[in-house]
Amino acid sequence: MSTKYIFVTGGVCSGLGKGIATASIGALLKASGYKVYTVKMDPYLNPDPGTMSPFQHGEVFVTDDGYEADLDLGHYERFIDVPLSRHSNLTSGQIYQEILDKERKGDYLGKTVQVVPHITNKIKDFIKSSAKNSSADFLLIEIGGTVGDIEGEPYFEAARQFHHEVGDDNVMFIHLTLLPYLKTSGELKTKPTQMSVKELEKRGIHPDMILARSDYDIAKELLGKIAMFCDVPENAVIPAPTISSIYEVPQNFAKTKVPSIIFKKFGLDDKKFDLREWNNLVKKIKSSNGHSLIIAKVGKYTSHGDAYISVDEALKSAGFAHNVKVKIIAVDSEKIEKKDKKELRNLKSADGIVVPGGFGVRGIEGKIMVAKYARENKIPYFGLCLGMQIMTIEFTRYVLKTKNVNSEEFDRKTINPVIHIMHDQKKNIEASHYGATMRLGAYEARLIKDSLSYQAYGQEKISERHRHRYEFNNDYREMLGKNGLRVAGINPQRNLVEIVEVKDHPWMIGVQFHPEFKSRPLRSHPLFFDFIKASIKHQRA
């Protein structure tokens, strides 16, 4: 079968869950036996989100091939369970950078370089090469932002041209909108949806399906009204009500026959799909609602709900696997530093503590205090990247009773840099080359046989994704090992420490990588699974 292309666009406003909708459609197509791949088009001018603040943009997701990606790629990987790569995310920054470099080299032979055709051609080429590289049956392409956004225009124009070139038999448009609720008249309004479809049509695109998001049940007449005014078959106006768990979306789209409509559009036979795993997951989510386990997530980006979205989902997924509901409480490390009573109470209510990744000195001392509290009180502690570095600093300062211990990231002149800059990173810092220069992507680690980590993974050789510039300083390895901070995982190629464990503690593990990126709702990550197990044990003790 030649690749079928599905564009997912958004109308009315942002934040409606286009990423989840795209991912859920992908999950259904995969459950029907098709090969699925996804692409996110981001109209912003940053070449990638790697340098963007989690306060503004949420989490930076990392793929195996070391691409720093939009967090929607995390949704796609979690729902479709296919490893993505740099072929899955295009930004305007990447396009302009490439085109301007070519222009400076004289590659355009004196021609005027323009949005149409140069930018639009690049967008179309990216789509075609993603289809080719992935050899997908279905390529889902999500256009970021909302129709009408100035910066999104080239993407809509490229999509229109793509439809024209590849043909209506091979291209489908799905438009996601919102039906706002008016409290005074007690009704849902369809006019913004109608207007946003008109915006699409102004750009030469007619939707084949409309997903109508709403916080309330949508009456059948209203779906009919949208169908009539937007000129879409009535069965292709799909209600997408707000639900308690995002993992119910594939089920909901299955009930409203989204796959059948897609197959019909492409002239394919209606296929049966196997949703047993998703149904089981939703059953587990619903049945685990009674029992709550409290996990404190200690960071400074706590004000942005999506800053640690993969960590949150990995914790929740491990909870589903153990049939417990994981309640994540955000603990602000700066408040801990200031000994804020409420924040200390929050921390003390936790059955387990996670210190996730992060950058910069702000809030660091608070995190070290948290690691000390977890170690001394034998509370399960899971350090992710920065959280591992924090754990190492804490241990050296307070168990080895060593003075002036820090990471070179926070104190460049520290006397005892237990965490130091990686050799090949110095030049990047000196030259201020911050974009896409960290140690990024999948690297191998070998686990030490008698470690907790080895028991959790059940295998010696693992591969996990990285995103860091600093590392465990091997000069301190022997001394720390002798005193109870043992190395449990090593990158054999470069002899880098990947995992440390506190010996006299039920579960205190720090990893230099980001296991959260490889956790799936249907397949909990071994370390998260084990951490939640230890936290349950701690709660029950």
Does the annotation list 207 as a binding residue? no
Residue 217: alpha-carbon gap to chain centroid: 29
Least distance between ligand GLN and beta carbon 379 (Å): 21
28: tokens are 């259904």
Q: What angle do CA 386, 392, 393 make, to 5 degrees?
A: 90
Does the annotation list 512 as a binding residue? no
Nearest to ligand GLN of 49, 357 (CB atom): 357
Nearest to ligand GLN of 336, 364 (CB atom): 364
450: tokens are 């008698």
Nearest to ligand GLN of 69, 236 (CB atom): 69
Least distance between ligand GLN and beta carbon 389 (Å): 6
Residues in contact with ligand GLN by the rule CB under 6 A: 357-359, 385-386, 409, 467-470
Least distance between ligand GLN and beta carbon 514 (Å): 7
Nearest to ligand GLN of 18, 468 (CB atom): 468
Q: Which of 385, 408, 471, 498 is catalytic?
A: 385
Nearest to ligand GLN of 44, 359 (CB atom): 359
Q: Pairing relation of β-strands 36-42 and 171-178? A: unpaired
Say how far apart CA 328 and CA 343 lie, in whole Å: 14
Does the annotation list 427 as a binding residue? no
Report the candidate in 108, 145, 97, 137 with the shortest Cα–Cα distance to residue 4. 137
Other residues' Cβ atoms within 10 Å of the Cβ of residue 93: 17
Q: Could you identify the residue written with the tokens 């963007």?
A: 52
Does the annotation list 366 as a binding residue? no
Say how far apart CA 122 and CA 95 lie, in whole Å: 7
Active site residue 514: yes
Q: Hey, is 401 helix, strand or coil? A: coil
Q: Which of 163, 175, 516, 538 is catalytic?
A: 516
Q: Which residues of 319-331 are buried (b: 16+ CB within 10 A; e: fewer)?
A: bbbbebbbbbebb
Does the annotation list 189 as a binding residue? yes
Does the annotation list 225 as a binding residue? yes
| 116: alpha, beta or left? (left if phi > 0; alpha if psi -120 to 50) | beta
- Do residues 419 and 537 lie in contact, with contact meaning Cβ atoms separated by under 8 Å? no
Say how far apart CA 43 and CA 143 lie, in whole Å: 8
Nearest to ligand GLN of 117, 360 (CB atom): 360
Does the annotation list 469 as a binding residue? yes
Least distance between ligand GLN and beta carbon 357 (Å): 3
Q: Which of 57, 514, 525, 538 is catalytic?
A: 514
Query: Closest-CB residue for ligand GLN?
Result: 357
Least distance between ligand GLN and beta carbon 317 (Å): 20
518: tokens are 């490889």
Least distance between ligand GLN and beta carbon 59 (Å): 11
Q: Which residues of 115-140 are buried (b: 16+ CB within 10 A; e: fewer)?
A: eeebbbebbbebbbebbeebebbbbb
Q: Virtual CA dihedral for 296, 301, 304, 309, nearest 10 degrees?
A: -60
Active site residue 385: yes
Does the annotation list 389 as a binding residue? yes
Known binding site for CTP: residues?
Answer: 14, 149-151, 189-194, 225
Known binding site for L-glutamine: residues?
Answer: 358, 386-389, 409, 469
Known binding site for Mg(2+): residues?
Answer: 72, 142
Which residues are tagged catalytic? Answer: 385, 514, 516
Known binding site: residues?
Answer: 14-20, 72, 142, 149-151, 189-194, 225, 243, 358, 386-389, 409, 469
